[in-house]
Structure 1
Amino acid sequence: MSRHFILCAPLALLSACSGRDLGNQWFPLRVGDEQTLSVSYQTDEAREPEQWVMRVDEPAVFQDQPVAVRHHSAGVSYYLKVDEQGVRRIATRTDIDEQPTADAEPMWVLKAPYAVGTEWTTVTVPYLLQRKNEHPRDLKHTHKAQMTWRIEAVDDVVTLADGSEHRPCLRVVGQARLNLYTDPVNGFTDVPLISREWYCRGKGLVKLEREEKVPTGFMTGGVLRAEQLR
């Protein structure tokens, strides 16, 4: 499978990267590109839909290596390194931070080879699980799990709400479990955390789903869905 990588030398050649694609065919990182995702929730407690805006900023130099910078409208920038091994996050910076903070270990976004069966693991936190009557309600502040990701398809077709069709697409599925005390009847339960992501050639991430369903009791959960608007 052909790959299109553009790597620039630190400092002196960094400006030469500006406006070019620092990603690859499955995860483009063209400086100045902006993507809007429509986000909806199907949860036990009503949540308003949202929009996430992802923007590729000017590249940066981090730990003496050039990296792409992708900014999320929630107020955080992700520092991404792309090479023949795949796409991985190596640092993050919030809007109020002066300097980025290195990840304890690289966080894979996509791992090569881009073929059915390729697997990797990352640390994840619950996005949707909440306590009903305790604080803090969000479990993301207190719980982590190891998620195993697998490329399950390389030729998926994705049709979005606006009728646009995208192909070929990688379908990547992540699975993890959290052992939680959900209620007196079920006691401790292995609650599945399931992520599904679609990366389309030349477009990047166009659709994602996150499923965190829990038995009725002390917890609430649900499903998050997001897809590209433009």
Structure 2
Amino acid sequence: MSRHLLLCAPLALLAACSGRDLGNEWFPLRVGDEQTMSVSYQMDEPREPEEWVMRVDEPVVFQDQPVAVRHHSAGVSYYLRADDQGVRRIATRTDIDSEPTADAEPVWVLRAPYQVGTEWTTVTVPYLLQRRNEHPRDLKHTHKAQMTWRIEAVDDMVTLADGSAHQPCLRVVGQARLNLYTDPVNGFTDVPLISREWYCKGQGLVKLEREEQVPAGFMTGGTLRAEQLR
């Protein structure tokens, strides 16, 4: 095959993908789709509520394959690939980066088959845990844990704050533990990190919860809840 055809092949794939959904029925990735999530916190130390906005940008060619790009208002784009095995993240790019950084291994978002009992693992970091009197306060830069995810339901109903009900939805639960020195009384404690996510057919992620509760002492924690506004 000529060099010209080798160069054109990925571009032809990208052109063919433009305008269609690169996701699946549980995690649509339609170009131009935008979603706003209302985020609230119940923390040992008060934290203001916020909104996250996610949008699906034009697909790109990455590692010679067309991939979907989902941008988060926090300033990062996620490069996603969906196939018969599920939906996985293969790279990320911050708004200040010129090029994406490939994940060492693909990070599963959803793993097929979409049925009760399907499991997978990913590396996670603590999102909410902080040191009370030390710097840096956030543990997310220094601690990691293996989180095991499991599809626990395939026909859940989710009712959002606006009263709208959505069904059927996958309920996916992730669990991990971090062994931390929490205080002189308890010493080292296995602190649970628990995530719950709801993916509704035709809509994708509509609700999530993250719990990182820790005994009173050297650390602070809490709960994050986010749900779709529009």
TM range (shorter): over 0.9
**Offset at 1:162?**
0.2
Percentage identity across paired residues of the two chains: 89
Letter in 2 for 1:159: T
Match of 2:142 in 1: 142
Give the SS at the match of 1:25: coil
Deviations 1:134-171 (A, max 9, x none): 01000001000000000000000000000000000000
Match of 1:176 in 2: 176
Match of 2:44 in 1: 44
Deviations 1:191-229 (A, max 9, x none): 000000000000000000000000000000000000000
Pairwise mapping of residues 112-151 of structure 1 onto structure 2 (< 5 A)? 112-151=112-151
Larger radius of gyration: 2
2:13 touches 2:66 (CA, 8 Å); kept in 1?
Answer: no
Please give the alpha-carbon distance, in whole angstroms, between the structure 2 residues aligned to 1:191 and 1:150: 19
**Offset at 1:20?**
1.3
Match of 1:59 in 2: 59
Deviations 1:118-148 (A, max 9, x none): 0000000000000000010000010000000
Match of 1:4 in 2: none
2:88 touches 2:110 (CA, 8 Å); kept in 1?
Answer: yes
Please give the alpha-carbon distance, in whole angstroms, between the structure 2 residues aligned to 1:150 and 1:13: 33
Give the SS at the match of 2:140: helix
Match of 2:189 in 1: 189
**Offset at 1:15?**
2.0
Please give the alpha-carbon distance, in whole angstroms, between the structure 1 residues aligned to 2:83 and 2:57: 19
Q: Over the residues paired in the alignment, what is the CA RMSD in angstroms? A: 0.7
Please give the alpha-carbon distance, in whole angstroms, between the structure 2 residues aligned to 1:75 and 1:104: 21
Match of 1:214 in 2: 214
Letter in 1 for 2:116: V
Give the SS at the match of 1:139: coil
**Offset at 1:43?**
0.2
Match of 1:201 in 2: 201
Unaligned runs of 5+ in 1: 1-8
Runs of 4+, deviation exceeding 3 Å = none
Give the SS at the match of 1:161: coil
Pairwise mapping of residues 11-26 of structure 1 onto structure 2 (< 5 A)? 11-26=11-26
Pairwise mapping of residues 147-162 of structure 1 onto structure 2 (< 5 A)? 147-162=147-162
| TM-score normalised by length of structure 2 | 0.96
Give the SS at the match of 2:28: coil
Letter in 1 for 2:29: L
Please give the alpha-carbon distance, in whole angstroms, between the structure 2 residues aligned to 1:210 and 1:11: 39
| TM-score normalised by length of structure 1 | 0.96
**Offset at 1:12?**
1.1
